[in-house]
Amino acid sequence: GGPQNTLDEPVWETAKRDLRRICKNLVMVVFPFKDRSQQSAALRNWDLWGPMIFTLGLATTLSLGAQTASKTFSLVFALVSMGAIVLTVNVVLLGGTIGFFQSLCLLGYCLFPMDVAAIVCVTVKIMLVRWIVVPVMIVWASWASIPFVGGAVPANRRALAVFPLVLLYTAVGWLALIT
Amino acid sequence: MADTLPQTTAPTPVAVEQPSYAHPVAAFFLFFFKAAAVFIYIFCGWFGTDFVINFCTITFLLVCDFWTVKNVSGRLMVGLRWWNEVSEMGGSDWKFESLEEGQRAVNKKDSFVFWTLLYATPAVWCALGFIAILKLNIDYLLLVIIAVLLSGANLMGYLKCSKAAQNQIKGRFNSLFASGLRAYMFSGRS
């Protein structure tokens, strides 16, 4: 349930509570080493700070290495945000039981591996390293998000929901690769 | 639970006239983040910095503003709060919290400043958005969209919250009225 009476709590309490929630969500989504079944319950405390930070980070990192910084930045940011929204609508249209903001939150947090990939690609010039890191990160991001998305839709439509997801991460990975 | 923001004017009791702001620090921050975001947006050409840095700075200010309005200013200045919870079925529940009767009076000036800024912010960003469309400045349009979404969300949240609070008060008034009526009918009569 919600907080009892938070109207008069000190400002720091609110800030700490939100920060703690971001960390918890990140660990739940991206490093799920424990039991997966409680994850959908855990993501009930969705927040959009994580996705915002990761999307901004991704766009910034990718624009650092590009020629036209501002265009790349806008492109990546718009691509990722639109992609997340379209994917969410896709899940909802396929009869999924995931909430709109929950899904956005999830997809945003799963960008974390792509952030890592982007940082590696921008700092390391050796193509071989990039070709190893990017697919690994794509797999990690997909592995983190597929159970949520796949579990929310009926079994016969799972592929329809999962395919665009992998496509989005692959597109982002490609952008990172060619920087 | 005392609120810990320093106040330069002491809060006066309910019965007495409240000529000054009860939460000047909160009012200042409410204004500061919004004004800084708009200011930097309009004048970022003069600073000569990179688009990416501008975007991130303005987004950071917008996010700070959103968080401050939602969690701090609303609470302190008008005693309202809204948030969202996801229920078992995956449906989202919008929850509202408002001051109980007589818990703390809402300062008229604070309320005026709060609601004015709340309405003004999306309006200003929409206007800036039109200008950006006219100038065909797609990059900055992205930023304006974010600004409109964030400030609009706060506006909607608080509007719904205040409606919920008013309904709550009406409901309580009705039940008080009903119990008073009952008491009157069954007492003082032999």
Mean pLDDT of chain B: 75
**Domain locations along chain B:** 24-180
Pair of tokens at residue B1: 């639970």
Task: State pTM to two decimals.
Answer: 0.72
Distance from CA of B123 to the nearest CA of A (A): 23
Residue B17 has what pLDDT? 45
Task: Summarize pLDDT for A3-22 with one digit per residue, the tens.
Answer: 345 555 666 777 788 788 88
Contact B86 A46 (CB under 8 A): yes
Contact A46 B71 (CB under 8 A): no
Ranges A80-94, B10-24, B74-88: which has the least confidence = B10-24
What is the SS3 assignment for B86?
strand
Residue A45 has what pLDDT? 67
Task: Summarize pLDDT for A153-176 with one digit per residue, the tens.
Answer: 777 777 888 888 888 888 888 888
Of the two residues A71 and A1, the one the predictor is more confident about is A71
Q: Confirm whether A132 is domain-assigned.
A: yes
- Cα separation, B156 vs A55, in Å, equals 25
In which domain, by residue range, is A87 found? 11-178
Residue A32 has what pLDDT? 64
Pair of tokens at residue B190: 């032999």
Check if the beta carbon of residue B171 is closer than 8 Å to that of residue B101.
Answer: no
Mean pLDDT, rounded, for B142-162: 85
B53 in contact with A, Cβ within 8 Å = no
Q: For chain A, percent helix, then strand, then coil, each to nearest 5?
A: 80, 0, 20
Displacement of CA A103 from its chain's centroid (Å): 9
- Pick from B141, B132, B42, B32: which is nearest to A74 by CA? B141
Residue B189 has what pLDDT? 58
| Residues of B in Cβ contact (< 8 Å) with A101 | 84, 86, 92
**Count: domains in chain A:** 1
Residue A69 has what pLDDT? 75
Rounded CA Rg of chain A? 17
| Residues of B in Cβ contact (< 8 Å) with A49 | 63
- Cα separation, A108 vs A88, in Å, equals 11
The answer to whether residue B78 scores a pLDDT higher than 50 is: yes
Q: Confirm whether A165 is domain-assigned.
A: yes
β-partners of residue B93 are B85
Check if the beta carbon of residue A179 is closer than 8 Å to that of residue A121.
Answer: yes
Contact B139 A69 (CB under 8 A): no
In the block, tokens 């006219």 appear at B134
Query: Residue A22: is it exposed, middle or buried by C-beta count within 10 angstroms (0-12/13-18/19+)?
Result: middle
Chain A contact probe: residue of B55, B61, B99 with most A CBs at under 10 A: B55
Task: State which H helix or E strand residue A160 sits in.
Answer: helix A158-177
Check if the beta carbon of residue B25 is closer than 8 Å to that of residue B6.
Answer: yes
Contact B86 A2 (CB under 8 A): no
Task: Summarize pLDDT for A18-70 with one digit per residue, the tens.
Answer: 788 888 777 777 776 555 555 556 566 667 778 888 888 888 888 887 777 77
Residue B106 has what pLDDT? 65
Mean pLDDT, rounded, for B123-137: 86
Give me the interface pTM, i.e. the ipTM: 0.71
Displacement of CA A159 from its chain's centroid (Å): 19
Residue A3 has what pLDDT? 39
Count of positions (residues) in chain B: 190
Displacement of CA A34 from its chain's centroid (Å): 19
Task: Summarize pLDDT for B16-30 with one digit per residue, the tens.
Answer: 444 566 677 777 777
The answer to whether residue B85 scores a pLDDT higher than 50 is: yes
β-pairing, B80-86 vs B92-98, is antiparallel
Chain B contact probe: residue of A7, A45, A48, A92 with most B CBs at under 10 A: A7
In the block, tokens 């907080």 appear at A3
φ and ψ at B123, to 5 degrees? -60, -45
| Residues of A in Cβ contact (< 8 Å) with B141 | none
B10: DSSP letter: P
